[in-house]
């Protein structure tokens, strides 16, 4: 069968750099860091006391006061981002066939804040009687964001969440892409959300030595590809994209940001939390994405890398890029926007896909911040263009975005100019 073409017609985001796509993009290009001391809980006794929190988020813009308690923070972020993306797509809701609109929305962890609070309430109760909030389970589960978004608009198409740790929302986009190109949906709202800056979230990642401990300089703690990197900075938020079948979009006169060209998935099959040191899974996932898109390595101009600022992860991804792209790797722009947003875990893939789309649309590549010439890592080829510290203008015909998750889950997506 002939596969249908899929385009992006709406974007939405709640991020540590701003609670809308325009604000996020502006600060990304400026090289603004979203990191600062943790305010969600008292982190003074933790080894890591900072994160990239969402600022000035007001749930009352989206919910009635009495309704807020029904939603974990991750779901609140998801609904806010989805609303921006649906508004951006400018559908005529009376003409839209709601039976053909799906919602595939991811979270790597789900409502960990709700889980933590409910267990704490039980443990500290004076009489030991188990009294749990009736909304506990529906607030906590990782699929509920997709359900809430569908209920908000009456979208009755395919509806579920994807869970693959930090690759979750890139996989969600891959599923949405396949549903549309196979003719099973006309439109899919897809993305991811996460709100894991909690005592148990930060404590758990800290105990694994995964987080940076630069408490005295949080704004420069995320420093991908630099020798002094010591772990990632946790972020939170949500990103939502409207994927739409091309002819459906054209028929309603929709604006088109970019076209989804292809996706890839693979497994490291190596370690519970560490990436393969030679980047074998990362190599395979990028090759799979290029094959799916029917593109050559030379067709890619920008890679938004996973680039978490961990000692093992960064060099292994660079090895994979050199293996896949060969000499063309030196003509690419490469950047890690996590240096500014932090790592949004299950939401990171969707947010970085938005960054890639806007790079393609505007012919500019956001930077990798926090690098200095005296902090070069001898394990990383410094002839590659990591777009250090300042955005760079160039024609971006197509961009590839990588996400790799605990469990060895790898996912990549390629977006290109619509023509």
Burial class (CB in 10 A: 0-12, 13-18, 19+), 32: middle
CA distance linking residue 80 with residue 383, whole number of Å: 41
**β-strands 258-267, 6-14 pairing:** antiparallel
Tens-digit pLDDT profile for residues 291-334: 999 999 999 999 999 999 999 999 999 999 999 999 999 999 99
Tens-digit pLDDT profile for residues 361-383: 999 999 999 999 999 999 999 99
Residue 66 lies in a domain: yes
Confidence (pLDDT) at 299: 98
Residue 70 lies in a domain: yes
Q: pTM value?
A: 0.97
Mean pLDDT, residues 53-81: 96
What mean pLDDT value characterizes the chain? 97
Which residues span the domain enclosing 401? 6-416
Confidence (pLDDT) at 1: 79
301: DSSP letter: -
Residue 349 lies in a domain: yes
Confidence (pLDDT) at 388: 98
Q: Which residues have C-beta within 8 Å of that of residue 229, sequence separation ≥ 6?
A: 212, 222, 223, 309, 310, 311, 314, 377
Confidence (pLDDT) at 140: 97
Residue 213 lies in a domain: yes
Residue 388 bridge partners (DSSP): 368
Residue 274 has pLDDT above 90, yes or no: no
Please, which pLDDT band fits residue 134 given cuts at 50, 70 and 90? very high
Tens-digit pLDDT profile for residues 79-124: 999 999 999 999 999 999 999 999 999 999 999 999 999 999 999 9
Query: Quick one: tokens of 177?
Result: 């892409």
Confidence (pLDDT) at 273: 86
Residue 143 bridge partners (DSSP): none
| Other Cβ atoms closer than 10 A to 60 | 9
Residue 344 lies in a domain: yes
What DSSP element (H or E) covers 83? helix 73-89
What CATH number is attached to the domain comprising 260? Answer: 3.40.47.10
Residue 360 has pLDDT above 90, yes or no: yes
Residue 286 has pLDDT above 90, yes or no: yes
Give the residue numbers marked as catalytic.
Answer: 166, 306, 343
Confidence (pLDDT) at 383: 97
> What distance, in Å, lies between the first and last C-alpha atoms of the chain?
22
State the total domains in the chain: 1
Burial class (CB in 10 A: 0-12, 13-18, 19+), 252: middle
Tens-digit pLDDT profile for residues 151-195: 999 999 999 999 999 999 999 999 999 999 999 999 999 999 999
Q: In what order do the strands lie in the sheet with 409-416?
A: 159-160, 101-106, 187-194, 237-245, 6-14, 258-267, 409-416, 398-405, 302-304, 333-335
CA distance linking residue 323 with residue 315, whole number of Å: 12
Residue 251 has pLDDT above 90, yes or no: yes
Residue 201 has pLDDT above 90, yes or no: yes
Residue 1 lies in a domain: no
CA distance linking residue 282 with residue 303, whole number of Å: 13
> For residues 231 and 310, is the Cβ–Cβ distance under 8 A?
yes
Confidence (pLDDT) at 128: 82
The string over 103-136, giving b where at least 16 C-beta atoms fall within 10 Å of a residue's C-beta and e elsewhere, is bbbbbbbbbbbbbbbbeeeeeeeeeeeeeeeeeb
Residue 126 has pLDDT above 90, yes or no: no
Residue 122 lies in a domain: yes
């Amino acid at each position: 069968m002939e596969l249908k073409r899929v385009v992006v017609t709406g974007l939405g985001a709640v991020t540590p750099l701003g609670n809308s796509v325009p604000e996020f993009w502006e600060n990304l290009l400026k090289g603004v860091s979203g990191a600062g001391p943790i305010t969600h809980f008292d982190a003074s006794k933790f080894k890591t006391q900072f994160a990239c929190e969402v600022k000035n988020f007001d749930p009352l813009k989206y919910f009635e006061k009495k309704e807020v308690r029904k939603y974990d923070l991750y779901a609140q972020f998801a609904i806010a981002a989805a609303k921006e993306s649906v508004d951006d797509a400018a559908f005529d809701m009376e003409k839209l066939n709601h039976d053909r609109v799906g919602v595939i929305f991811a979270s790597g962890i789900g409502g960990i804040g709700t889980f933590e609070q409910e267990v704490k309430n039980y443990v500290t109760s004076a009489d030991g009687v188990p009294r749990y909030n009736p909304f506990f389970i529906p607030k906590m589960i990782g699929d509920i964001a997709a359900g809430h978004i569908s209920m908000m608009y009456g979208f009755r198409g395919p509806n579920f969440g994807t869970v693959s740790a930090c690759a979750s929302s890139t996989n969600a986009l891959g599923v949405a892409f396949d549903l549309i190109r196979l003719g099973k949906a006309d439109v899919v709202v897809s993305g991811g959300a996460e709100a894991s800056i909690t005592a148990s979230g930060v404590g758990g990642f800290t105990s694994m030595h995964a987080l940076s401990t630069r408490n005295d300089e949080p704004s420069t703690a995320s420093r991908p590809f630099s020798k002094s990197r010591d772990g990632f900075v946790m972020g939170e938020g949500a990103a939502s994209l409207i994927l739409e079948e091309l002819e459906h979009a054209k028929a309603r006169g929709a604006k088109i940001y970019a076209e989804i060209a292809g996706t890839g998935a693979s497994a490291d099959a190596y370690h519970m939390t560490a990436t393969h040191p030679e980047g074998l899974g990362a190599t395979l996932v990028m090759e799979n994405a290029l094959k799916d898109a029917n593109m050559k390595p030379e067709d890619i101009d920008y890679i938004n890398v996973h680039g978490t600022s961990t000692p093992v992860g960064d060099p292994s991804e660079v090895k994979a890029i050199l293996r896949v792209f060969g000499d063309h790797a030196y003509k690419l722009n490469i950047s890690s926007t996590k240096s500014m947003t932090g790592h949004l875990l299950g939401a990171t893939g969707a947010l970085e896909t938005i960054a890639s789309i806007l790079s393609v649309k505007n012919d500019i590549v956001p930077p990798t911040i926090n690098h200095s010439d005296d902090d070069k890592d001898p394990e990383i080829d410094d002839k590659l263009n990591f777009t250090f510290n300042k955005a760079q203008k160039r024609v971006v015909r197509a961009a590839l975005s990588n996400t790799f998750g605990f469990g060895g889950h790898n996912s990549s997506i390629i977006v290109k100019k619509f023509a």
